[in-house]
Amino acid sequence: MKNRTIQIELAFSAVIIAITIVIITAICFDLNKKIESTNKNIQATIIATNILENINFRTYDSFNEYIQTIAGTGITKKVVGSSQNIVIVGNDFNETFLGTEIPSGYIVDFTATRTSENFDIAKEISIIVKYNVLNQEEKFEITSMLERENIEECNNPVMTDTYFQDLGFNNDEYDIIPIKFAENVNHFITTNANDPEWYNYSSKRWAKVLIFSRDADNLKDLFIDENGNINSTVNYDNVTLDVTNYIYVWIPNFSIKDDITYFRYGTSKIAIKMEFQYLNNKYLYLNRVGEEISNISDECSFDGIFGVWKKLGDEEDIYYKNFNNTKYAPINIY
């Protein structure tokens, strides 16, 4: 009887040990799976976010060009409707996709879908990074939007000292005041650089500023009242002064090719061009960057600058003279 009891106890102990081993094995398996899943998910996250960051550093047009031209071993591409789908298999792909290495064991399923069937102005981006954990597929997914850049007609006026130094002005010793002509009161008024009505080059309204020396015995206060209204003339020491003598205008980076005037993007020589599409009796206008347009001359080059400030009416200045002969001239002063 005693031996049988011992046998039963041994058998029970063996069962407990076996169960314990199974439980420990299951826990270890699950733990290893979780560790592998976490590590691979981190890698997948890095892949997806690196791709997205690279996209955000590109212009809309350069992104489109890249997606259209990329090819190679390990890449499959297809277009379905307004969607461009690209699948990259890391095992076979030895290059980089949007600046990102795709390691062995990972597959990137990338889709860019136009948000409009008719206008290519925005895309929904989907990035799915797939990987296996113990023969089971897992994935990390991220989505975003890519919108065509809102390129203005021309470069915005720059108000820093660097852009006034050739004129001998700086913001410490001079008051530099944006102004515009207000039709409702029929005279100039002060404004600010964020005012959408400050300028409109298509309407020949160039951006204008008044510049007064702070040592000029309150000349600024004679021209401008407390409400921002600007007198066209003032009497200063028995001399009549005209406000136009203190007006300077912004001439954005531009050039001329085949008798056509083009504004250029930033400090580059790349032309800003307008494109439009017609749908349902409506036009959609978009400004985009085009091809390179050479300088007008060595003396009028805009090398490394967004534009120049010049005194109103200074026909002896090469920038003013050239711009004042374009379709954006003569300047609409009032």
pLDDT on residue 290:
84
In 15-105, DSSP assigns E strands to 75-80, 83-89, 96-97, 100-101
pLDDT on residue 60:
87
Q: Could you give the CA distance from residue 74 to residue 326 in angstroms, rounded to a whole number?
A: 52
3-state secondary structure of 320: helix
Q: Could you give the CA distance from residue 26 to residue 156 in angstroms, rounded to a whole number?
A: 66
Question: What would the pLDDT profile of 271-306 be if each residue is shown by its tens digit?
Answer: 998 876 665 566 667 788 889 999 999 999 999 999
Question: What would the pLDDT profile of 75-126 be if each residue is shown by its tens digit?
Answer: 999 999 899 999 999 999 999 999 999 999 999 999 999 987 767 888 999 9
Q: Could you give the CA distance from residue 270 to residue 264 in angstroms, rounded to a whole number?
A: 5
> 């990390």: which residue's tokens?
140
